[in-house]
Structure 1
Amino acid sequence: AALFIFVALLVGCAVTELSHPRAVNVPVKKMTPEQGRSFRQAKNDAFGASTYTENLIDTDATEYYGLIYIGTPPKAFYTIMDTGSSNLWVPATSCTDRACQGKNKYNPSDSSTSVANGEPITIHYGTGSMKGNLVYDDVSVGGLEVVKQEFAQATSLAAFFTGSPFDGILGLAYQSISADNVPTFFDNAVKQNGIDSVFSFYLDSTSGSNSSVLTFGGYDSNYFQGTITYHDLYLDTGNYYMIQWSGVSVGSSSINPECGVLGCRAIVDSGTSLIVGPNKVVSSILSKLNINENCAGVDSLPDITFSIGNNNYAIPSSIYVLREQALGGQTVCEAGLQGATSSEWIWGDVFIRAWYSIFDHEALRVGFARSINP
């Protein structure tokens, strides 16, 4: 994504009512290796069905990542499902960087469907870069399979990725921002499987829960309340899922967003854990909240509300206050917001947990409906 504070993705596990009969549900489930179903079983379950489900990993409320399979025979990798970038990459067996240690690695020699490309590629993120070379192979996510997907095998990773629980990243933004203009997994999945060019996220707010869901091909009405409101992408650029918004408040107090002549803009990014905005504005929001590190009174804190025209998107303290275990075992509270030098905002997982998010890829719009999270 444009910025990783603590990257993440997915959860949930049930065949539910979907917006399109060919929609594909990719649920996230916390599991031990012995609890995971094999790829072959997942393929058997998916064959002939209108929805496809697969157990994924959710380690806490700010870290979601999914299980994908590459090659023949299929090899498992854990990846961030990232709406803030567009490339797919996983570590190569030739990567000896410390950041590659302990990760699942791709070896083209182990796959009968691997096709060499060899072109070098560098992918830059807000937290570092990945260097490697391109290759083609079959990729499956939740039974949704793409034949001959082009992706990168990483031969060098930035130090940021050291110790991360995921192996790589699966980008879900537009091909226009894909490094080397590599076609995206989602575009190819739409072409090869006939699903609608829409995907949606429900992220559960309970740490360690097993119920977040990424749906390919539509949305799942079991995970939101009320109606969906759509907003066109900023300037219809078709690169990031960037929208224009108009105001922010804490409770009944309006905050000056100081957005300048271009207006307020936000990238809706599943690969960023927090809500990120300009330092001055985020500081103003935090001063109104005055969150106690010892968590006293956090349940009665006011909502943070972002406005898009006449539509208000409130985020309650139950979602924007993050609770973590300190070294001494006590619970420590902090805000799920972070300041940055950029004038643009990132509405990351904190926002998506409050608002079920629908990415209408072809129509160049993003839709929101109130999540079933408390």
Structure 2
Amino acid sequence: MKSTYTNSIIKIILTVLIFTQSTVVAKGNLIELDLIKQQVNGQQLYNRLQREFSNPQKVKQEQDKIIKQINHKHYNDKQNELNSFQNSTENQSADQTQIPELLLRNIQNNQYIVNLYIGSQSVKQPLLIDTGSPYTLVDGVDCEKCHIQNSKNSLFDCNQSPTCKLTDKSSYELTFVQGKAQGLQVKDRVCLQSGLAQCTSNEFTFIDIYNITYSMENIEADGILGLGMIKKNPNFSFVQQLFASGQISEPSFSLYINDISFDMRYQKDISKLILGGVNMKYGVENQVMVYHSIANSDSWALNLDTVKFNDKNIKQKDSKIAIIDSGSSNIVLPREDYNYLLKYLTNDLHFICQPQNNIYLQCSCPTGEIGVFPEVKIKFAGVDQIYVLSPKDYIIQENHLCNMQISYYSSTDGSWILGDVFLRKYMSYFNIQKEQIGLILSNKKSLESREFLKDVMLILECILGSLFLGILVIYFIRMISGLKNAKDEELNFD
């Protein structure tokens, strides 16, 4: 009994002694502790146990037992530390904004198109980005007019996607300025990349279009990516679905869009749809993004304060809003404000102007000088910030004609629409959760300077490469000439 008690005390003492001397060696994600090979004196442990137990087998058993216990304790302690570290790292990663950036194809400044991949077969669908529409529309194989207009693209086929399911047999009819679209409500997955990468769940809701009443001539998209505000029904929101599936860290997106001349200059698409946040490198350095609360929870609309052409306030009625709409190319005015603007241009500024199929407001400019046209100064309610569009931002010059990208529509509430003309000048950030729109002057110069530096570096590389080749040619010519001279001298010597 006494021997057993003494043995236990010795084991405890030895365990404490060895525990205080041991260290941990980390190998990857596994924590290994080798008491014998590392800093613990294994021979001393063996000697002490040998003095305590006369049976060598018992000594070995006790030694293995002690080492196992210490190993187990240290493994658990260090594994807990490792788990805590991994959890904190994961939390830090989750806190970092995930902002996938998708390239936008610019079609003559009239359409900005993003490629998404829909269904279990990840079929590429080019979609027009539209902050004015909350619904995503995808042209289906049953849409005959869509086939005629988009024969070069693969239209969506719900029957070919096992993850696609019809959720409502009743038809949806959506009305646009150009006409109407009819379709069925379906659910399927939508991915940002091919190969089922960065996808929503299979529950993303969109409209599978089977009929359209408008012409899709010159429209290169197979539908619409609805980025409109729709808090009441998040299942229709593409951004909120991405957020729910963990692909982005906040329900928001940003638009950085360029003029077609800018993209053509560098022969590549530079415009971006940024999901889950904002990348401030696309805003002018040392400027602050200004945030505006939206007018209501149903659209990306801001309360207008004033809209001035030079110093003339064109907005004629109070309580008007401006819809920030990437699906519209122009600045679109209510008919009353449009007529007032036309009168101001002709009577006050003495321009000769007339509407052109409600696409442009066409004015004569015989000298070709667009700088004589007025600046557009837009101020939203509640914030002391004026957004300026210079004539070059909203005028397309053709010979002696200046086409103002301003049109009109029949508005029931006097709303203005600020389309791509405005969005090209100001990078925009749309936050669904905070119900805000952030605006900052777009940074074009940094991209131009980066492209310029690339061009300079390419030229320098070509020059240096040419010099290097020239030096090699001269070296070989001299070497061959030297060998020839040496041979001639040898012959003369003979």
TM-score, scaled relative to structure 1:
0.77
User: Identity across aligned pairs (percent)?
Assistant: 21
Amino acid at match of 2:272: V
Q: Does 1:79 align with 2:140?
A: no
Moved more, 73-82 or 161-170: 161-170
Aligned position for 1:364: 435
| Among 153, 174, 177, the residue aligned to 1:126 | 177
Counterparts of 1:293 and 1:141, CA distance in 2:
45
Counterparts of 1:154 and 1:99, CA distance in 2:
11
| Among 139, 145, 152, the residue aligned to 2:199 | 145
| Contact in 1 for aligned 2:368/2:401 (Cα 8 Å) | no
After superposition, residues 155-304 of structure 1 pair within 5 angstroms as 155-175=210-230, 183-193=236-246, 194-207=248-261, 209=263, 210-225=269-284, 226-234=287-295, 237-251=296-310, 253-260=311-318, 263-286=319-342, 287-288=344-345, 290=351, 291-292=363-364, 296-304=368-376
Classify the secondary structure of the residue corresponding to 1:26. Answer: strand
Instruction: Note closer, same or farther for the CA distance 1:144–1:208 as it changes in structure 2 (3 Å cut).
Output: farther
| Contact in 2 for aligned 1:295/1:332 (Cα 8 Å) | no
For residues 81-112 of structure 1, the C-alpha deviation after alignment (integer angstroms, 9 at most, x for no partner) is: 11111111211111223675325311122223
Aligned position for 1:26: 102
For residues 21-74 of structure 1, the C-alpha deviation after alignment (integer angstroms, 9 at most, x for no partner) is: 31111122xxxxxxxxxxxxxxxxxxxxxxxxxxxx212223211111111221
Amino acid at match of 1:172: L
| Contact in 2 for aligned 1:356/1:368 (Cα 8 Å) | yes
Moved more, 264-273 or 128-137: 128-137
Aligned position for 1:311: 385
Instruction: Note closer, same or farther for the CA distance 1:318–1:21 as it changes in structure 2 (3 Å cut).
Output: same
Classify the secondary structure of the residue corresponding to 1:227. Answer: coil
Which 4+ stretches in 1 moved above 6 angstroms?
none
| Contact in 2 for aligned 1:69/1:139 (Cα 8 Å) | yes
After superposition, residues 107-118 of structure 1 pair within 5 angstroms as 107-118=157-168
Counterparts of 2:384 and 2:391, CA distance in 1:
22
For residues 283-310 of structure 1, the C-alpha deviation after alignment (integer angstroms, 9 at most, x for no partner) is: 4445437443668111453321111242
Q: Does 1:336 align with 2:375?
A: no
| Contact in 1 for aligned 2:166/2:184 (Cα 8 Å) | no
| Contact in 1 for aligned 2:136/2:236 (Cα 8 Å) | no
Cα deviation, residue 162, structure 1? 4.2
Cα deviation, residue 208, structure 1? 6.8
| Contact in 2 for aligned 1:58/1:64 (Cα 8 Å) | yes
Counterparts of 2:184 and 2:333, CA distance in 1:
34
Ranked by relative contact order (alpha carbons within 8 Å, sequence separation 6 or more), the top structure is: 1
Cα deviation, residue 182, structure 1? 5.0
Classify the secondary structure of the residue corresponding to 2:434. Answer: coil
Instruction: Note closer, same or farther for the CA distance 1:116–1:206 as it changes in structure 2 (3 Å cut).
Output: closer
Counterparts of 2:400 and 2:123, CA distance in 1:
38
Amino acid at match of 1:269: D
Instruction: Note closer, same or farther for the CA distance 1:348–1:293 as it changes in structure 2 (3 Å cut).
Output: same
Counterparts of 1:216 and 1:279, CA distance in 2:
35
Cα deviation, residue 156, structure 1? 0.4
After superposition, residues 83-94 of structure 1 pair within 5 angstroms as 83-94=131-142
Aligned position for 2:38: none
Amino acid at match of 1:238: S
Instruction: Note closer, same or farther for the CA distance 1:256–1:114 as it changes in structure 2 (3 Å cut).
Output: closer
Aligned position for 1:9: none
Unpaired runs of at least 5, structure 1: 1-18, 29-56, 325-329
Moved more, 264-273 or 207-216: 207-216
Counterparts of 1:206 and 1:164, CA distance in 2:
16
Cα deviation, residue 205, structure 1? 2.0
Query: What is the Cα-based RMSD across aligned positions, in Å?
Result: 2.5
TM-score, scaled relative to structure 2:
0.59
Counterparts of 1:117 and 1:166, CA distance in 2:
25
| Contact in 1 for aligned 2:150/2:220 (Cα 8 Å) | no
| Contact in 2 for aligned 1:279/1:339 (Cα 8 Å) | yes
More strand by share: 1
Aligned length: 316
Aligned position for 1:6: none
| Contact in 1 for aligned 2:254/2:429 (Cα 8 Å) | yes
Counterparts of 2:192 and 2:317, CA distance in 1:
38
| Contact in 1 for aligned 2:368/2:400 (Cα 8 Å) | no
Unpaired runs of at least 5, structure 2: 1-94, 264-268, 352-362, 446-494
| Contact in 2 for aligned 1:198/1:362 (Cα 8 Å) | yes
